[in-house]
């Protein structure tokens, strides 16, 4: 290039023009590079987001009530486990419980005797939502493992007994005890007839994993935010029912009143 020749006697104006031309050329190619980087960056991000949405939606769908729900579950998507009197006129208690939730453990400790006796007298029906969100906050897989084991027990027709055994033996919320499925299988030995090869296989394979996810998703969308959430004929009953504190005696009274009404 002529620019390398220092002895060039080209008129000053021509040299300046050339210099400007070079500067413009450099600026232009820099702009092109910058624009292609902008384009590249946006392409990377858009691709990441689109792929992410596609992958995650495919991972999070796929619940099919007909093949994923345990036997004898109820509700439009068969996400609820029914316990107690078949007669639809009996008062209905709806319970959302996470197996790892300490407040649920407290509720069960205080109320399971009253509740079970009302169920035995056919005065009360229950629908359980077995939710499993503690794992999200606390880490581990204890909630999901236990929820899945409860579904396996429901499939064997022994949900309620196993449910009571699990809450009676609930580990500390932060403990990882139920990450180990063999602990859940060990507790199943306390329920006569539950510890079968089919049940063990079901627990070990997380046989109702899709259902457990679907139940949790249903809870996510329910607007209820904590467990236990307890409803009596659709009205919140925990920790208070129509302004009255819950207690075994009061609970009995409320159910009796609804039963007569």
Partner 1 sequence: MAVHEASRTGTEPTPTPGPRSGSPRSGPRVRAAWVSTVVRLGLAVVWAWAGLAKIGDPAAAEQAVRAYRILPESLVPAFGFGLPFLELGLAVLLVAGLGTRIAAGLSALLLLVYIGSIASVWARGISIDCGCFGGGGAVAASHTEYWQEILRDCGFLVLSAWLLWRPQSVLAADGLLSVGGAETRQSPRTSG
Residues at the interface with partner 1 (CB under 8 A) = 3-4, 19-20, 22-23, 26, 30, 33-34, 37-38, 40-42, 44-45, 47-53, 55-57, 59-60, 133, 136-137, 213, 216-217, 220-221, 225-226
Q: Phi and psi (nearest 5°) for 83?
A: -135, 140
Between CA 172 and CA 162 the distance in angstroms is: 18
Instruction: Pick between residue 2 and residue 76 the one whose CB is nearest to partner 1.
Output: 2
Least Å from the CB of residue 34 to partner 1: 5
C-beta closer to partner 1: residue 10 or 72: 10
The three-class DSSP label of residue 129 is strand
**Beta-sheet pairing, 92-97 with 125-130:** parallel
Smallest gap from residue 48 Cβ to partner 1 (A): 4
**Nearest distance in Å: CB 3, partner 1:** 6
Work out how close the CB of 135 gets to partner 1 at its nearest, in angstroms, rounded to a whole number: 8
Closest approach of partner 1 to the CB of residue 96, in Å: 12
Of the pair 138, 233, the CB lying nearest partner 1 is at: 138
Q: In angstroms, rounded to a whole number, what is the distance separating the alpha carbons of residues 141 and 205?
A: 14
Is residue 145 within a helix (H) or strand (E), and if so which, with residue range? Answer: helix 142-155
Of 14 and 37, the one with the shorter C-beta distance to partner 1 is 37
Cα 158 to Cα 194: distance, rounded to the nearest angstrom: 7
Phi, psi angles (nearest 5°) of residue 92: -110, 125
Q: How far apart are CA 124 and CA 54, in angstroms?
A: 45
Give the shortest CB-62-to-partner 1 separation in angstroms: 12
The span from the CA of 95 to the CA of 80, in Å, is: 10
**Residue 125: C-alpha distances to residues 58, 80, 115, 160, 193 (Å):** 36, 12, 9, 12, 24
Q: Which is nearer to partner 1, 35 or 198 (CB)?
A: 35
CB of 196 to partner 1, least distance (A): 31
Question: Of the two residues 98 and 108, which places its CB atom closer to partner 1 in the complex?
Answer: 98
Of the pair 53, 74, the CB lying nearest partner 1 is at: 53
Query: In which order are the strands placed within the sheet that holds 81-84?
Result: 81-84, 125-130, 92-97, 229-232, 235-236
Q: What is d(CA 202, CA 209) in angstroms, rounded to the nearest whole number?
A: 10
């Amino acid at each position: 290039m002529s620019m390398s020749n220092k002895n060039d006697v080209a008129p000053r104006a021509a040299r300046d023009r050339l210099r400007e031309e070079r500067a413009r050329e450099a600026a232009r190619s820099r702009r092109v590079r910058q624009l292609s980087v902008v384009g590249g960056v946006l392409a990377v991000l858009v691709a990441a987001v689109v792929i992410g949405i596609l992958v995650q939606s495919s991972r999070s769908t796929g619940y099919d009530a007909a093949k994923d729900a345990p036997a004898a579950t109820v509700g439009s998507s068969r996400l609820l486990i029914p316990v107690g009197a078949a007669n639809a006129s009996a008062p209905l208690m709806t319970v959302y419980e996470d197996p790892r939730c300490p407040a649920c453990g407290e509720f069960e400790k205080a109320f399971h005797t009253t509740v079970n006796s009302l169920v035995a007298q056919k005065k009360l029906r229950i629908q359980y939502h077995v939710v499993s969100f503690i794992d999200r906050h606390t880490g581990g897989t204890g909630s999901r493992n236990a929820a899945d084991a409860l579904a396996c027990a429901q499939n064997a027709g022994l949900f309620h007994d196993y449910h009571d055994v699990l809450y009676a033996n609930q580990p500390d919320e932060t403990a990882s005890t139920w990450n180990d499925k063999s602990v859940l299988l060990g507790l199943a030995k306390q329920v006569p007839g539950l510890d079968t090869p089919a049940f063990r296989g079901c627990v070990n394979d997380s046989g109702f994993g899709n259902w457990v996810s679907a139940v949790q998703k249903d809870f996510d969308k329910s607007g209820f935010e904590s467990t236990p959430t307890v409803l009596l004929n659709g009205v919140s009953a925990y920790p208070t029912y129509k302004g009255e504190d819950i207690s075994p005696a009061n609970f009995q009274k409320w159910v009796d009143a609804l039963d007569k009404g």
